[in-house]
Amino acid sequence: MKKQCLGRGLSALIESSTSVATSEEKAADSSLPHHKEDYRWIATHQIVANPYQPRKQFDSASLQELANSIRQEGLIQPIVVRPKGAGFELIAGERRLRAFEILGEKEILAHVIEAADKKSATIALVENLQREDLNPLDEALSLSSLLHDFDLTQEEVAKHVGKARSTITNALRLLTLPTEIQKLIRQQKLTTGHAKAILSLAEPDLQSRVATRIAQRGLSVRETETIVKRLLSPSKKSASSPKQREAMRSLEKKIADAIQTAVKIHKNLDQGTIAIQYKNSTELQRVLEKLLR
């Protein structure tokens, strides 16, 4: 395999982390060595995982493709690590490290820097944000970690990762969705556009029913917005077409004729209720006999 290093990727942030982290670490240990441009080949078994790794799922096919690319072209960009105990802790580049392990390589080129926990988490997140395939929920969880683990404001998180505060706010809102909707997002059956529309609905149960319908039917974001808008204004006559209302009245009449009493159907999305009227216990008994026979 070619042992080479091309390009620097997160160099600006990494260089910043070196100077910032150095001052932070000096307070704890003035004897800690500095590694501003420290590139080394490190044994893979000496590297432990980053607890702030944003990416929670790794696609095996994608990792194999990366491994094949590294076999042919060599390592384009080194991983980034920081000293940890007798070894090192990964900051950025877990996919590259896993690809090396697939290839059976025992060593990998690493850029060794000094970084406190907050900077390590930030670098890991920014590196993954630069890759389009980072799941929106993984991004949201990492932003939440920066927010709560390091007692930052949304404004401070936005500055750290180079995004607008509104983007941070919208990402974090994904974590308020029911678990089943988050699962659909992870499975790429729903996009953040779908999720943003669904979040306009207040009830978690309704959110889940709408999300399931969207995923099953493969509806677009625009179609989702139309459904949500209709649900938020159910009293408007435009919520259903004249043809739909006529079909509902016809169904009500058919049921009423069968059980010989007034019936009203209340529809909400794909679900609803059927209200059966009765005047006294005798009529109720008669209706029940017709329904149960």
* Catalytic residue numbers, as ranges: 94
Q: How many residues does the chain have?
A: 293
Q: Which residues contact 20 (CB under 8 A, 6 or more apart)?
A: 116, 119
Q: Contact, 125 vs 142, CB < 8 A?
A: yes
Q: The tokens of 124 are what?
A: 């890991």
Other beta carbons within 10 Å of 173: 14
In whole angstroms, what is the distance from residue 20 CA to residue 143 CA?
A: 20
In whole angstroms, what is the distance from residue 224 CA to residue 190 CA?
A: 10
Q: Contact, 10 vs 123, CB < 8 A?
A: yes
Q: Is the dihedral of CA 218, 221, 224, 230 positive or negative?
A: negative
In whole angstroms, what is the distance from residue 121 CA to residue 102 CA?
A: 25
Q: Contact, 128 vs 134, CB < 8 A?
A: yes
